[in-house]
A and B are shown apart, each in its own frame.
Chain A
Amino acid sequence: MYQEEETSFYDLLEISPSAGPTEIYEAYQRARETYSPHSAAIYSMFTEEEARELLRLVDEAYSTLSNRSRKRAYDLRLGLLDDEELKNETPNAYHSHPNKSPEKQDSLVEERKVGRAEEGWTGIVKVHRKVDPLPEGQERTRFSTYTVDAQFEKDIEDVEECDGSFLQKIREYKNVPLQELSEAMKTSRSTLRALEENELDRLPVQVFTRGIVVQYCRMLGLDEHKVVAAYMTYYKSQKST
C-alpha cells in the first residue's frame, strides 16, 4: 500500500533545484560515470546490485529533471515551489481538509508535508506515495482502514501524558491487530502486551522501551513526537516512584 522511495533527484545528481539544463546534463554524465559498473570510485563501497540500482535512479533523475513539465510536477511533489506559487496553481489543495478534497490533491498535500518533515542528513527526502482512494470519513494505517472519530482524534492530539492503555485504545480504534503489529515491528506480542497493560517491569530498559513506543506510534501513523513524549512522561513518573 505504501511505497517508500528515496528521491531527491537533486541530491543524487548533486545539483541545486535551480540548476539549468546544461548543469543538469553535466551532472548526469558525471553521475553515470561514477556509478557505472566499472567505475573505480564505487569499488568496495557499493555492491554491483546497489550500483545498478543507483544507475537506474540516475537515469530516472535525468529523465525527470530534463523535461520541463515532469520537473515541475516533481518540484511540486517535493514541496520546492513556494506556498504562493502552489496556492495559485491548485487553490484547494493546500488549505482544504485532506479528507474532503479530491483524491489527487489530497495525496499532493500529504506528500508535501512528508517531503518537508523528513529531511535527512544530506537533504535526502523520502517521498511516500499513497495509492487507492478511500471513501469519505475513512482513513488508513498500513494495516487497516478505520472510521475517523473527530473527538478521539482531538484527544490524541491534545495528549500530554498517557499510559499503555491509551496506546491500546488507539490501536483498537485504528483496527490494527496486535499480531500484525508485532510482526511488522519485529517485537514480540508479549512485549507489546506488557506495554499496553502497563507492566513496566516486563519492558526493556528506557532507551529500548522508548524505541518500541516510537515504532508503535509510527506504525499507527501517530504524531510520534507528541505521543512518545506523553508516554515517556508517564513512564518516568512510574519509574521514579
Chain B
Amino acid sequence: MMKASPKLSTATKKKVVDLRGRIAPQSTIIAVGAGKGGVGKSFFSSSLAYFLAQMGHKTLLVDMDLGAANLHTWLGEGLPSKGINEFMKDTNLTIGDVISPTMKNNLHLISGASEGLYNGDISDAEKSRLLSALYNYPTDYIILDLGAGTHTSTLDYFLMAQHHVVVFTPEPSSIENAYRFMKAVFYRKIRRYGSRLDIDQRIEHITKNNHNIKSPRDLLNTLHKEFPEISKDLKEVMNQLQFQIVLNQIRTAQDRNLGKGIKSVCQRHFGLPCEFLGALSYDNAVWQSLRQKKHLLVANPYSHLYAQIMAMARKLADPSQPKNMVS
C-alpha cells in the first residue's frame, strides 16, 4: 500500500503507480463508518481532522452523509455555499471548487449539507466521479465522515479508504449494527475486488459442496485451501481491509475492556487483523460545546477527550506504526 508521507508538501507529490498499474491515492484516506446513527462518527471525524491539522498535516474533512449532513456545525462553521451536492449536480465543477477553508489552519471542509441528496438517487457514474475526484485530490489526509447504514454507496466510500475506522458505543444495539455494517463491508469487498478471481463462482462452489462455513473467516480459509492458485492475490486484496475500532461514549473502565473484546471477536470472525484504536469517554462537554457552536477541542481543551483523541490521531498518522499484516 502506498502511503502519502505527511512530510511531503502537496506540490512535490507525484502520481505513484503501484505494481498492478493502479494509481495510488494522492493522500491518506481515512473512512469513518458505523452501523447506526448518532454514535459519534461526526464527532470523531471532526476531532480527528482537527488534530491532524494541528499536527501540521493538510487535512480535508468530507461530509459523506449525503442525506443528513451536519459536519460544518461540529466545526462551528456556518453553512458553506458549496459542497458535495453542488459538485454532483454540476459536472463542470472540480472537487477543489467545493472545498471551503475553516477557522483552523490546515483544515478544509467539503460540506454535504443543503437540501437532501439520497444515496439511492446517485448513479454509478456519479459515484465514480466523486470517488475518483477524492482519490486524486492531492493533500495529506482526507477524512470521510460516512452516513449510517449499509447502502452499497456507503460501503464503496468506506472501501476506497486505506484506513477503515468503525465507531461503536457500548450499547448492544450499536454493537450489533456495527457488526452488521462490517459484515456488509467484508462481503462487498470480497465480491467486488475479488471479481477478477471469479470469486462468486468459487464461493458458490464451496457452499454447494457443503463445507461448514459459519463466518467470513471460514470462507477465507476454505477459499484459500480449495483454490491455492488464487490464495496469494486473495490475501493481498483482503489484507487491505483491516478494521480499526473506536469505542465512543464509554462511562466505566470496564467499557475499555469491551473495546479490546470487540477487536478479538472481529479478528476471530473475519480472520483479518483488526486494531482497537482507543476508547472515548462520555462527556457532557461534547454537546455543550456543540450548543456554543464551537468544537469541543476549542471550547474545552481540559476534557479527557482531548488526550484520548490526540493519542488516536498520533496512532493513525504515524506511518512507521507497525501493521500486523498477515503474510
Contact = CB atoms under 8 A, between A and B. Distances in A.
Interface of A: 14, 30-31, 33-34, 39-46, 50, 54, 118-124, 185-187, 205, 207-208, 210-211, 214-215, 224-225
Given A41-B175, A120-B221, A120-B224, A211 B209 contact: yes
B37 interface: no
A14 B264 contact: yes
Given A124-B221, A211-B226, A214-B226, A45 B202 contact: no
Given A207-B205, A214-B226, A121 B272 contact: yes
A34 B260 contact: yes
A45 B179 contact: yes
Given A14-B267, A34-B261, A120-B220, 6 more contacts: A40-B170, A45-B266, A208-B205, A211-B209, A211-B226, A215-B226
A225 B226 CA distance: 10
B175 A122 contact: no
Contacts of B228: 224-225
Given A46-B265, A120-B224, A33 B257 contact: yes
A225 B201 CA distance: 21
A129 B205 CA distance: 28
Contacts of A119: 327
Q: Which 5 A-B pairs have the closest CB atoms?
A: A41-B261, A34-B261, A121-B271, A44-B176, A41-B262
Given A41-B175, A45-B179, A211-B205, A34 B264 contact: yes
Given A41-B262, A41-B265, A45-B179, A121 B221 contact: yes
27 contacts: A30-B257, A30-B264, A31-B264, A33-B261, A34-B261, A40-B258, A41-B175, A41-B258, A42-B261, A42-B265, A44-B179, A45-B269, A118-B225, A119-B327, A120-B220, A120-B221, A121-B326, A124-B221, A124-B271, A207-B198, A207-B201, A207-B202, A207-B205, A211-B205, A211-B206, A211-B226, A224-B228
Contact of B265 (A34, A187, A214): A34
Contact of B261 (A39, A118, A214): A39
A44 B209 contact: no
B43 to A, nearest CB: 21
Select the residue from A33, A118, A187, A205 with max chain B CB neighbours within 10 A. Answer: A33
B267 A122 contact: yes
Nearest to A204: B205
Contacts of A39: 261
Nearest to A6: B221
B209 A215 contact: yes
A45 B265 contact: yes
Contacts of B326: 121-123
B210 A186 contact: yes
A43 B35 CA distance: 14
B217 interface: yes
B217 A121 contact: yes
Interface string B158-181: 000000000000101001100110
